[in-house]
Amino acid sequence: MTPAPAPTPASPDSVPLSRNRLLFVSGTAWLFDAMDVGLLAFVLAALKVSWSLTPAQMGWLGSINSIGMAVGAVAFGMWADKVGRRRVFIATLLLFSIASGLSAFATSLAVLMVLRFLIGAGLGGELPVASTYVSERVPAHERGRVVVLLESFWAVGWLLAALIAYFVMPQFEPDTGWRVAMVLGAIPALYALYLRRTLDDDAPAPGSRKPVPPWTERLALLWSAPHRRSTAMLWLLWFTVVFSYYGMFLWLPSVMVTKGFALIKSFEYVLIMTLAQLPGYFTAAWLIERAGRKFVLVTYLLGTAASAWSFGNAGSETALLVSGILLSFFNLGAWGALYAYTPENYPGGIRASGVGTAAGIGRLGGILGPLAIPFLGAQGWPTSAIFALFAITIVAGVVGVILLGRETRGQQMEG
């Protein structure tokens, strides 16, 4: 097969513009995804009041989203290696947006859970495919920084979710406020139509890559001798990070209510903590091309573990706020490094499959994480012990990175 012609070199002035455009177009989609996930945390607290949900029902409503994300990450990641990143990026964005809009009209928990599964499938497929798409279009010397900055749009989405929860939802009755929030979460459906016209084709183009093997062969390749060490490390890392993130952050408003803060005031605290995510991303973006991927992952994950322990043991308003800010800072900086690091461990023919499968394994942690707090709470575990469990889980991921991970800073990505 004749390789595709090399692109004409761009002028120095046009490269930053192209990179910034790529960041904006992809990052805005990421922002809307985060807004939906962030709104779920606040919607859970509102549904507890309006639908009289039990802690177990709330846990399952959070977990069904992650079940969909697990299925979507694997299926759409595999599909992206076959038909191209751009097509799948747009398809997944449309899926989760439409399902989000429909969820505003749900009249029962069963219907809402089906729609949350579809939202999760779209979201779970979009995130790894988008990071792979961006990674393949950025030069090696700035690839890590750009992907971390892409992930920083997640914080802006959470910020919008907190603002909607704080300023919009309280203006309505509890059973109406969360529905309005879900309608706002459907905005990406319109944006997906815009994306279809503005996104560039995949780089390299699907036709210029090596032939893509069938699904089962790609799964086998992930565990072949050249890749099994990376795959084992990434599956462990994704599981521990996602387990702790969804276990902690989806429950932040509810945990604050348990500690004695009013529901609306808990929104205010989460809003402040969300703002701390941005410097977490920006410092990780600055460090990742200077100190390397492994250094950033290990440092920020250890910071996350220490902050989780402190949050669980916080006995005052000040301690709760400070530990929550540090938790946001370190955890989301680690997320940025995770998305930058994962695609660099695989060649082009199995890259989206590798990223999607790792993310899918991670989503299993996202299923268990939201269930952990109500289950362990029912067994008599105090909040301090539950957050200590999250801290220990994160440390296990750190050990995996240290022992099995390889440094990928500056390496060229295979086509």
Q: How many domains does the chain have?
A: 1
The arithmetic mean of pLDDT across residues 269-281, rounded, is: 82
Q: Tell me, what CATH number does 361's domain have? A: 1.20.1250.20
Q: Tell whether 185 is covered by a domain.
A: yes
Confidence of residue 206 (pLDDT cuts 50, 70, 90): low
Indicate the pTM of the whole model.
0.83
In this model, does residue 209 exceed pLDDT 70? no
Read out DSSP for 302-349? Answer: HHHHHHHHHHHT--SHHHHHHHHHHHHHHHHHHHHHHHHHGGGGS-HH
Residue 112 has pLDDT above 90, yes or no: yes
Quick check: 6 pLDDT over 70?
A: no
Query: Maximum distance among all alpha carbons in the chain?
Result: 67
**What pLDDT, on a 0 to 100 scale, did the predictor assign at position 2?**
37
Q: How many other CB atoms are there within 10 angstroms of residue 382's CB atom?
A: 12
Residue at 356: amino acid letter: G
Q: Does residue 231 belong to any structural domain of this protein? A: yes
Grade residue 9 by pLDDT with cuts at 50, 70 and 90: very low
User: What mean pLDDT is predicted for residues 229-242?
Assistant: 96
175 found inside a domain: yes
The distance from CA 211 to its chain's CA centroid, rounded to whole angstroms, is 30
Confirm whether 15 is domain-assigned: no
Q: What CA–CA distance (Å, rounded) separates 237 from 232?
A: 9
Full residue range of the structural domain in which residue 134 is found: 22-194+215-404
Residue 69, in any domain of the structure: yes
Q: Could you tell me where the DSSP H helices lie in 289-316?
A: 293-312
- Residue 11 in domain: no
Asked if residue 366 lies in contact with residue 63, where contact means CB atoms within 8 angstroms, the answer is yes
